[in-house]
Amino acid sequence: MKKKLIQHTSGHFEKLFHNKPEYIFLSPGRINIIGEHVDYNDGFVMPAAINKYICFAISKNENSECALIAKDLNEAYKFDLKDELKPVDKMWVNYILGVLSQLKNAHGLAQGFNIVFSSTIPMGAGLSSSAALECGIGYAMNTLFDLGLTKEQIALVGQKSEHTFVGVNCGIMDQFASVFGKKNKVIKLDCNTLEYEYYNADFKKYSLLLLDSNVKHTHLTSGYNVRRKEVEKGLAIIKKNFPTVKTFRDCTEEMVLELNEQLGRTIFKRCHFVVKEIQRVSDAAKALTDSDFATLGKLMSETHEGLSKEYEVSCEEIDFLVDAVQHEKTVLGSRMMGGGFGGCSINLVEKGTEEALIKTISERYADTFGIELKAYKVKISKGTTLYKDNHATIQ
């Protein structure tokens, strides 16, 4: 799959520019094992890079003009680095221009380049193809022009691009996972300090299966903003009653239970989920250390229950996909992944049973909703890398 993507991308580059690309880069999508909706609540997240990639074939050219070719979209965009870089009406271009604008301002990028990129990351499935695009471009420019950026700086440039040129106020998790990913390792990341540690995620006789609901409900942005307000309100009440509490990280379940009436039904549920989810991430780290996959699966299912019933960011289709596998002996755990209101469920399943499970659930899902289910088997892979440097071979 990876080789095919690389051949497909570099072949298109050769066809357009009549030469082999100087460099080939791979930038992965990501999953999050556990730790949902706690990145903005002072919790930890547990993402990992996966073996779905954007491949970039790149060469410098002799002037200040740049050509961006999105092979999958059959679209191209050309611009001159001498001109001011501003957002345009093509969304995919803005992810790239947002990165280049920062690097131009900080490092004076002046030499043009040609890029062809193509992807195996499913769009709209919540696997962060946008972060892979931003970080791939940042990493490529760092290599091409020897900018001396650290991995952390590349991730932050990617995040800022999304804030400024795309208008999405995202956290750092997606970009961080895309750049810092390691094969068979998950990252326990503190989104506040960017401190992180790796945990082994060699699932042995189990594998990760994503079931894509193929729906994206419009409540995502509004629901997300409302949740943020609710938890902020809840934390203020908790702090007032327990002055030692600075963040949700200092808060115990007992404190939240004690303030049940004061918080009110809705805000109590939101805060209870956050406190429990922060604890679940720590429990998941221990389960991974002990290779205790049964406990990890159980924690994933508990997270979904909380996201659905307490944080209320799931939807009928995703609840169906999670409920449908709960009694399958081959499935250890399942939960919705990402912001919610659609997207994928992530499932920890016995290796070799995936196809039978996909068949069963797909049929039931189609019968119930009339929607075709998509499924992706994923492996935990390394982060953004220079795959090939052809530079020395080109005259």
Options 42, 72, 80, 174, the catalytic residue: 174
Domain shared by 186 and 69, yes or no? yes
Domain shared by 288 and 352, yes or no? yes
Residue 174 annotated among the catalytic residues of the structure: yes
Q: What is the pLDDT of residue 167?
A: 85
Query: Does the pLDDT of residue 306 top 70, yes or no?
Result: yes
Number of domains in the chain: 2
Q: What is the mean pLDDT of residues 303-315?
A: 96
Domain shared by 251 and 343, yes or no? yes
> What does DSSP assign to residue 85?
P
Domain shared by 154 and 221, yes or no? no
Q: What is the pLDDT of residue 340?
A: 85
Q: What is the mean pLDDT of residues 140-163?
A: 96
Q: What is the pLDDT of residue 337?
A: 92
For the full predicted model, state whether its pTM sits above 0.85: yes
Sheet holding 47-60, edge to edge: 75-80, 65-70, 113-119, 47-60, 23-32, 385-389
Query: Does the pLDDT of residue 159 top 80, yes or no?
Result: yes
Domain shared by 43 and 145, yes or no? yes
Q: What is the mean pLDDT of residues 204-222?
A: 86
Q: What is the pLDDT of residue 218?
A: 67
Q: What is the mean pLDDT of residues 9-18?
A: 97
Residue 139: pLDDT band (50, 70, 90) is very high
Higher pLDDT, 127 or 27: 27
Q: What is the pLDDT of residue 395?
A: 31
Q: What is the pLDDT of residue 125?
A: 78
Q: What is the mean pLDDT of residues 124-146?
A: 93
Q: What is the pLDDT of residue 55?
A: 98
313 within 8 A of 222, measured Cβ to Cβ:
no
Residue 284: pLDDT band (50, 70, 90) is very high
Q: What is the mean pLDDT of residues 95-103?
A: 98
Domain shared by 28 and 55, yes or no? yes
Domain shared by 108 and 239, yes or no? no
Q: Write the CATH number for 372.
A: 3.30.70.890
Percent of the chain past pLDDT 90, that is, above it, reads 86
> What does DSSP assign to residue 34?
S
Q: What is the pLDDT of residue 293?
A: 96
Domain shared by 18 and 151, yes or no? yes
Range of the domain at 152: 2-201+381-393
Q: Write the CATH number for 187.
A: 3.30.230.10
DSSP string, 157-203: HHHHHIIIII-----SHHHHHHHH-BTTEEEEEETTT--EEEEE---
Say which residue the tokens 């943020």 belong to.
Answer: 228
Q: What is the mean pLDDT of residues 351-368?
A: 97
Domain shared by 185 and 305, yes or no? no
Query: Does the pLDDT of residue 53 top 60, yes or no?
Result: yes
| Residues forming beta bridges with residue 56, ordered by sequence position | 25, 117
Query: Does the pLDDT of residue 310 top 80, yes or no?
Result: yes
Domain shared by 220 and 270, yes or no? yes
